[in-house]
Amino acid sequence: IWIFHGFYAEEKLVGNLASMSTSERIKAIQKMPRTMKQKREIRNKVLKEITEESRHHSSQLLCCPQCLQRTVVSFRRFGNSLSECFHLLQLTHKTLKIIGASFGTSVLSYFIFLKWLLAFNIFSFVINFSFITVPQFVAAEPNNLTFTGLELFTGAGYFQETVLYYGFYSNATISKTENGPSYNMQLAYIFTVVIYFVICFFILLFSMAKSFCRNFINPQMFSGTASKLLCVWDFNITNEKAVKLKQKNISMQIKEDLAEVNQEVLNFSATERVVRIIIHLVCWVASLGTAIAACAGVYFLSINNLKVFVKEHKNDFKSQAAMLVLPIVASLLNAFIPFFYSWLGHLERFQTPGYQIYVTITRNTILKISIIGILCYYWLNIVAASESQCWETLVGQDIYRLVLVDFIFCLLGSFFGEFLRRIIGTTICVNLGLPEFDIGRNVLDLIYAQTLTWIGILFSPLLPGIQIISFSIVFYVKKVSLMMNCQPPRKVWRTAQMATSFMLLLFFPSFLGVLSVIGVTIWRLKPSEECGPFRGLSSMYDVVSEWIKILENYTASKWVVWIYYNLITSEFFFFILSVIALIITYLYWQITEGRKTVTKFLKKQIIN
């Protein structure tokens, strides 16, 4: 069934298509919902019309349009073959298709997120490596320490005198030859880090805004049954068992939805409602209490660690192993407390399962944020003011160990959580069944690892490289574990909304927190006296102020000095920027409200 195009309408269509440019025409023909035969007929008619027109103009312009057309055609063919080459490079494309086919789009969104983070880390590594590490190789000092295998785990020892940590970088102006081009290491270090974070900020902002725009156009329609029903069938699924499972899930979900709509869950009496509220409160207090206890434990352990490390500078096996205790404890807390939270979630009875998932994720996020927060407090306030020789390297080593242990625990978690659970579920305790792939937990683990990397970039510039290796291995292991051990998820998540919430979680707590930590480090903390590119200064930011003072003496760069004094350091400028941003936001909000009213009005008109 299609709308019948009268003869006149078809003539008009052909005329429209003939007047478009070639690429637009191709796209327009592709978009037509007709069979191949009809599209071919229309295309031939259009081409005939074009050649007739060009024959008209041929007397005036001779062979030029033909040459132009030929070059355009060959250019387009080149573009096509280039995009096909790109397709070949997409090694993971096929893997992602297979995952989407067997498990649905929600699990697929985890792997897409992981791939995006991997690409992001490659970009970070390239920037930091080329601007900070490569020049340092030119002016590297020889390394006198010996390499034992233990350094891979503890990050100390041999690695202390390598480019891995901040302490190794020199504060000199490096130049290969006398009077040759020189490279100011101090300025390079601070500018690379700051500009990298500014670029990250904009990338995250635009990705978040794009997915927000796509997925939250009209939140009213979201709770609609119609949209859920008509759009729920995932045509991606090809496995027969998965199809039957999906059908069962859909029917269960429809029945649940209908039951909710028919009788409100809040049919409870007053006492039952009060009891439920009390249960909610108790669970929240329990979860916050656990988070606070975990933080306190981590804090006292790290203070102890610092005493051990600074006072007794032994390099033997026992003290090196003692350095690993803190990261292991932090990862254990991160691995086991979420089980407690999901148990609490089962205890409380929520109105919808979606609400339960969001509450559990919120609690896990609070736990992870508080652990990272307490560690940052410890690093910035206690380690920085301690008597150690090179506190930045100490912090870098701590972060290295945390990242490494977190990676190991991720692999172990996959092994125990999925592989052993499957064996238990199929042989010993058969009514448990196969495990499901816990998307929320895995995504939070990824965001945790990425936050640690971001914090560590200032203190250990090669950390993104380590994270690249770690993420690639995690991708492979998770994929294999998923295929071997898991079943498709039972609850039907709103996948598009999920992808947006991942981005939101990445941006708000994670990135902004990192920005504040880096800001405090650069502005307020005193770099160590004897190591690193900023030795001897009273804060890392002094490099920039001193540089500006030097620039004042050159007339050619007076505009840089002017920008610095009047825009970057003046509070008035930022105040005006914020006021303008608020005004624009308010105007857009009012425009949206106005459009909503117009939509309502138009709908009423359609009915009448």
Partner 1 sequence: AEAAGAAMGGSGSLLPREALSEYQELTFLSKQEILLAYKRFSELLPKEERENACSARLPKSCILTLPELRANPFQHQICRVFSTSDNMDGSMSFEDFLDMLSVFSDAATLDIKSHYAFRIFDFDEDGALDRKDLEKLVNCLTGDGEGSQLSTAEMEQLIQNILEESDIDKDGTINLSEFQHIVSRSPDF
Q: Under the rule (CB under 8 A), what is the footprint of partner 1? A: 1, 26, 29-33, 35-37, 39-40, 43, 80, 83-84, 87, 105, 214-215, 217-218, 221-222, 224-233, 235, 237-240, 242-244, 247-248, 250-252, 254-255, 258, 261-262, 494-496, 603, 606-607
Q: How far is the CB of 428 from partner 1 (least distance, A)?
A: 27
Residue whose CB is less far from partner 1, 146 or 263: 263
Residue whose CB is less far from partner 1, 20 or 122: 20
Q: The tokens of 37 are what? A: 């035969």
Q: How far is the CB of 72 from partner 1 (least distance, A)?
A: 14
Residue whose CB is less far from partner 1, 251 or 516: 251
Q: The tokens of 362 are what? A: 């919120």
Question: Where would I find the H helices in 216-269?
Answer: 225-231, 240-262
Other Cβ atoms less than 10 A from the Cβ of 200: the count is: 20
Residue whose CB is less far from partner 1, 141 or 240: 240
Q: Rounded CA gap, 322 and 608, in Å?
A: 78
Q: Rounded CA gap, 484 and 426, in Å?
A: 13
Q: Show Cβ contacts of residue 329 under 8 Å, excluding neighbours closer than 6 positions.
A: 297, 298, 301
Q: The tokens of 195 are what? A: 């500009």
Q: The tokens of 144 are what? A: 């006198």
Q: How far is the CB of 565 from partner 1 (least distance, A)?
A: 47
Residue whose CB is less far from partner 1, 63 or 607: 607
Is the Cβ–Cβ distance between 464 and 398 less than 8 Å?
no
Q: How far is the CB of 87 from partner 1 (least distance, A)?
A: 7
Q: How far is the CB of 73 from partner 1 (least distance, A)?
A: 10
Phi then psi for residue 250, to 5 deg, are: -65, -40
Q: How far is the CB of 479 from partner 1 (least distance, A)?
A: 20
Residue whose CB is less far from partner 1, 43 or 276: 43
Q: The tokens of 456 are what? A: 């560590």
* Token pair 């998770």 in the structure block, residue: 478
Q: How far is the CB of 255 from partner 1 (least distance, A)?
A: 7
Residue whose CB is less far from partner 1, 227 or 569: 227
Cα torsion 546, 549, 551, 557 to 10°: value is: 120
Strands 173-175 and 182-184: antiparallel
Q: The tokens of 551 are what? A: 């620039």
Q: How far is the CB of 264 from partner 1 (least distance, A)?
A: 15
Residue whose CB is less far from partner 1, 37 or 318: 37
Q: How far is the CB of 574 from partner 1 (least distance, A)?
A: 36
Phi then psi for residue 114, to 5 deg, are: -60, -40
3-class SS of residue 169: coil
Q: Show Cβ contacts of residue 384 under 8 Å, excluding neighbours closer than 6 positions.
A: 391, 395, 525, 526
Q: How far is the CB of 476 from partner 1 (least distance, A)?
A: 24
Is the Cβ–Cβ distance between 334 and 451 less than 8 Å?
no
Q: Rounded CA gap, 344 and 284, in Å?
A: 9
Separation in Å, CA 190 to CA 171, 185, 458:
11, 9, 9
Residue whose CB is less far from partner 1, 100 or 461: 100
Q: How far is the CB of 27 from partner 1 (least distance, A)?
A: 9
Other Cβ atoms less than 10 A from the Cβ of 340: the count is: 14
Is the Cβ–Cβ distance between 512 and 148 less than 8 Å?
no
Residue whose CB is less far from partner 1, 224 or 536: 224
Question: Where would I find the H helices in 312-390?
Answer: 317-322, 325-347, 353-377
Is the Cβ–Cβ distance between 448 and 334 less than 8 Å?
yes
Residue whose CB is less far from partner 1, 35 or 351: 35
Q: Rounded CA gap, 233 and 597, in Å?
A: 32
Residue whose CB is less far from partner 1, 33 or 142: 33
Is the Cβ–Cβ distance between 437 and 489 less than 8 Å?
yes
Q: How far is the CB of 495 from partner 1 (least distance, A)?
A: 6
Q: How far is the CB of 80 from partner 1 (least distance, A)?
A: 7
Residue whose CB is less far from partner 1, 238 or 557: 238
